[in-house]
Amino acid sequence: MSYELIGITVLWFFLYGYLIVASIDFGAGFFAYYARVTKKDHIINQLISRYLSPVWEVTNVFFVFFFVGLVGFFPDTAYYYGQSLLIPGSIAIVLLAIRGSFYAFESYGSKDNAVYMFFYGATGLLIPASLSTALTISEGGFIEETANGVQLLYGELLTSPYSWSVVFLALVSVLYISAMFLTYYADRAGDKPALELVRKYALFWSSPTIIASLTTFIALSQQNLDHFQRALELWWVFGISVAFFMVAVFLIYIGRYYGLAFIAVMLQFLFAFFGYGASHLPYILRPYITLTSGVTHESMAIALIVAFIAGLCLLIPSLILLMRMFLFDAEYVKGKK
Amino acid sequence: MFELDGATISRMLTSMTLLFHAIFATVGVGVPVMVSIAEFIGIKKKDPHYTLLARRWTRGYTITVAVGVVTGTAIGLQLSLIWPSFMQLAGNVIALPLFMETFAFFFEAIFLGIYLYTWDRFKNPIYHWLLSIPVVIGGTLSAFFITTVNSFMNQPQGFEMENGTVTSIDPLAAMFNPATPTKVFHVISSSYLTSAAILAGIAAIFILWKKGSTYHKKALKLTVTFTFLFAILTAVAGDLSAKFLAEYQPEKLAAGEWHFETEEGADLIVFGTLNENNEVENAIRIPNALSFLAYGDFNAEVEGLEETPVDEQPPLWIHYMFDLMVSIGFYLLGISLLFLVFWKVKKWNENNRLLLTGIALAGPLSMLAVEFGWVYAEVGRQPWILRGFMTVTEGATTSPYVGWMFLLFLALYIVLGTGCIVVLRKMFKDNPAELELERLFPQVAATKEDDQS
């Protein structure tokens, strides 16, 4: 395996990790606000904050990790994405900043502030929408290089059916993943009322998720036929993803094995995400950066891979410790510690 | 403001983000050290005052760390958004420390989460204290890695430039460039110093305004002691940094010291003003001290600013930044020493109002010194973004929208800054230490009469 392929695989894994942990967080923010509006906040807010408080910072790091790693392995992305994404990128930073700090202010400082809750819920939907721009423009056709540097074509972006279907997919899958996770967590906590509520959310958001996946696929064929055809060659990967989707929804529907159901959700997105990523290659940003043209020098790539392996040796045991203490410690989840 | 050119606005935006982040980053590196020390003393002495101290500091710390995390994320992204050409080039050479910094940050984030939620989870409190060690290590390592990146920008090496593309990259040589040791040492020691001074300032204010209890007096003694130790360390680091500058970045030292002509036995100019002919007025001149500062020899030759081409000279106002930073450093050293002397001499009262006011001032002053120091270091390498390779203008984005982004981020920092202050105030105002001591350690609060003293 060449080092640029190792590099992009590693980065893709981190983006996938971010997709899962951030979706739980973003969706939880929305559900917390929604529950407040519908006067059901007493049922699930305790549950959400018990999970989120110890892990919100870790969520953020997955994202930092991805973009720092991307610039490291593929320095050209800094130039093209940096030039073109100034506005959507800055808006995403501001939203992330408001969200992260307000979460801390809320949970460690003043309790139960309606304004905080609103921002927390709203940013949970706006952030996935603004971040998905970066994936959209990677398909090509949204930026142009002129003598004055690289420009993002806002008109193209805002009128493209593909870009809107990506935004829609991002939104519904955030809510779906989050509800699926909360269902599992509520079950662990033995919290019946919360379980009933989030289980309904999970079932509700499952159908838009699968519909949005299909529409995005169709829109892709309009936007970038090459990519669409490479995706069709990997049809079996997407098939496995759909199979896991059905397993997850079935388990939630019959109301048993919530842990397995969430693992099925993770596998559903793992296959879909890697299928999407693999068919995207060899382009990273079409047509300016390919896997081989944009890669950093060999010595740096090797140094990064070594650092990455050393870092994982440190991180994996720490993450396991974190999960054992707050995710899989039944006493903690139930609120007894 | 939109008449300014893109590079200038880009610089303003980055300065604003960094100056705001520096406040929280400095506290983020230093406070865990103080927390860990306090918790350890609490366990060893079986004194719940110290344990409570560690707990309350940690609680305030979570708020500042949140702002630190989000502004740090902002910088990470802004680097590529505002300086795309620079990052394209630098990404090839310094990706390694940037990447490792996120590992350190990851490590710290995981253990901070665990540390915060496990205060009462272990029978033996030493296990909880052990969890503070990775937080300290993670914070300090982040500072280390990110400072190596900044050192590289000051003293680039580990690559070759051929027709605008970089070749022969040596990631470790880039990371461990000549600027790295002194810069890292100075950044870490001053972060520890600033955090200790701020915590000392808070304790002093409590004793001044509210006749603080034994708890606050113990806090004061602990924090001032460490302020003194870290001040010595920072002074040593600062001296080494000056010697580094003299050898590798003479134009920064020369501009900072208003040293225009190369000469032996150079005088050190303290404060003063410049007239329109760039002549120094109203300054205190310490004969031969600059030579000593730069080379440890009163008669050494120090390179003057005239040796640097005019268009590569840093602005001369950085002299004030240098002087303010150094003066505050010595003030911190002096005031903490004075307190320690008053404390050790039995008949003197270390809690006299004048001394306490001095310590209360030390907190905000130390943070200002950090900001002045960074401004000196960063503006002192103008016009370069990568000294000798790329100017700031070449590195900046060409997007016409940076001005609007400046306003957007200005609004963000105002909101974050205000939120942070409001929440911190609320957190401690309604929950004084005495009440919390009673709640958490009722047996201690009931049996000890010392809280009335």
Is B70 an interface residue toward A (CB < 8 Å)?
yes
Contacting B residues, span 260-299, partner chain A, CB-CB under 8 Å = none
Selection from A26, A239, A258, A203 nearest residue A129 by Cα: A26
Backbone angles phi, psi at B313, to 5 degrees: -90, 140
Q: Helical H runs in chain A?
A: 3-37, 41-73, 75-84, 86-108, 114-137, 154-159, 161-189, 192-223, 225-233, 235-254, 258-280, 298-326, 330-333
Question: E strand or H helix at B286, and its extent?
Answer: strand B284-286
To the nearest whole percent, how much of chain A has pLDDT over 90? 1
Neighbours of B43 (CB within 10 A): 17
Mean pLDDT by runs of 10 across the 453 residues of chain B is 73 92 93 94 88 89 88 88 85 86 85 84 85 92 92 86 79 88 94 94 86 82 93 92 87 86 83 78 81 82 85 87 91 90 80 84 93 91 79 78 88 91 83 73 58 41
How far is Cα B212 from Cα B205, in angstroms, rounded to an integer?
Answer: 9
Three-state secondary-structure class, residue B3:
coil
- Closest residue in B to A54 (Cα) is B113
> What are the Cα distances from residue A49, in Å, to A100, A108, A260, B58, B369?
13, 11, 23, 19, 38
What domain count does chain A have?
1
Return the amino acid letter for A328.
F
Write the single-letter amino acid at B426: K
Domain spans of chain B?
6-240+317-452
Tens digits of residue pLDDT in A198-249 = 888 888 888 888 888 888 888 877 777 777 888 788 888 888 988 998 898 8
CA distance A27 to chain B (A): 19
Distance CA A214, CA A231 (A): 13
A109 touches chain B (CB under 8 A): yes
| Residue A105 to residue B134, Cβ atoms within 8 A | no
Longest dimension (CA), chain A: 63
* CA B332 – CA B224 distance, rounded (Å): 10
For residue B383, say if its preceding peptide bond is cis, omega within 30 degrees of 0: yes
Residue predicted with more confidence, B32 or A255: B32
Give the relative orientation of helices B214-248 and B180-210 as an angle to the nearest 10 degrees.
150
CB A268 within 8 A of CB B63: no
Looking at the complex, does the CB of residue A315 fall below 8 Å from at least one CB of chain B?
yes
pLDDT digits (tens, 9 = 90+) for A4-20: 888 888 888 888 888 88
pLDDT at position B86 is: 85
| Residues on chain A touching B399 (C-beta within 8 angstroms) | 83, 86-87, 149, 151
Q: A67 is in which domain, residue-wise?
A: 3-333
A309 touches chain B (CB under 8 A): no
Residue A152 distance to chain B (closest CA, Å): 10
CB B191, CB B233: distance < 8 Å: no
The radius of gyration computed from the CA coordinates of chain B, to the nearest angstrom, equals: 24
pLDDT band at A109 (very low <50, low <70, confident <90, very high): low
B423–chain A nearest CA distance, Å:
5
C-alpha span between B42 and B60 (Å, rounded): 19
Helix/strand/coil (H, E, C) string of A38-95?
CCCHHHHHHHHHHHHHHHHHHHHHHHHHHHHHHHHHCHHHHHHHHHHCHHHHHHHHHH
Q: Which of B80, B107, B170 sits opposite A71 (nearest CB)?
A: B80
pLDDT greater than 50 at residue A134: yes
pTM given for the model: 0.88
User: What integer is the mean pLDDT of A152-156?
Assistant: 76
**Partner A contacted by B405 (CB < 8 A):** yes
The answer to whether A307 faces chain B, any CB pair under 8 Å, is yes
Q: Which pLDDT score, from 0 to 100, does residue B3 have?
A: 60
Distance CA A271, CA B221 (A): 58
Burial class of residue A114 in the structure, from the number of CB atoms within 10 Å of its CB (0-12 exposed, 13-18 middle, 19+ buried): exposed
Asked if B447 contacts B90 with a C-beta cutoff of 8 angstroms, the reply is: no
CB contact under 8 A, A72 and B82: no
Q: Is A68 on the interface with B (CB under 8 A)?
A: yes
pLDDT of residue A77: 85
Q: What does the alpha-carbon distance between residue B283 and residue A15 come to, in Å, rounded to a whole number?
A: 57
**Could you count the other beta carbons within 10 Å of the beta carbon of residue A226?**
12
Report DSSP letters for B171-234, one per residue. Answer: HHHHHT-TTHHHHHHHHHHHHHHHHHHHHHHHHHHHHHHH---HHHHHHHHHHHHHHHHHHHHH
CB B304 within 8 A of CB B263: yes
Question: From the centroid of its chain, how far is CA A97?
Answer: 17
Map tokens 């529950």 to a residue. A35
Which of chain A's residues have a Cβ under 8 Å away from the Cβ of B70?
A: 60, 96-97, 100-101
- ipTM of the complex model: 0.84
Place of tokens 């269902």: A183
The C-alpha of A172 sits at a distance from chain B's nearest C-alpha, in angstroms, of 25
pLDDT for B147 equals 93
CB burial readout A152-176, b (16+ within 10 A) else e: beeeebeebebbbbbbbbbbbbbbb
Q: Which residues of B touch A90 (CB under 8 A)?
A: 78, 81, 405, 408-409
- Restricting to A residues 134-163, those with a Cβ less than 8 Å away from any Cβ of B are 148-151
Rg (C-alpha) for chain A, rounded Å, is: 20
Nearest to B74 among A93, A109, A297 (CB): A93
Tell which B residues from 157 to 196 touch A, by Cβ distance under 8 Å.
Answer: 166-167, 169-172
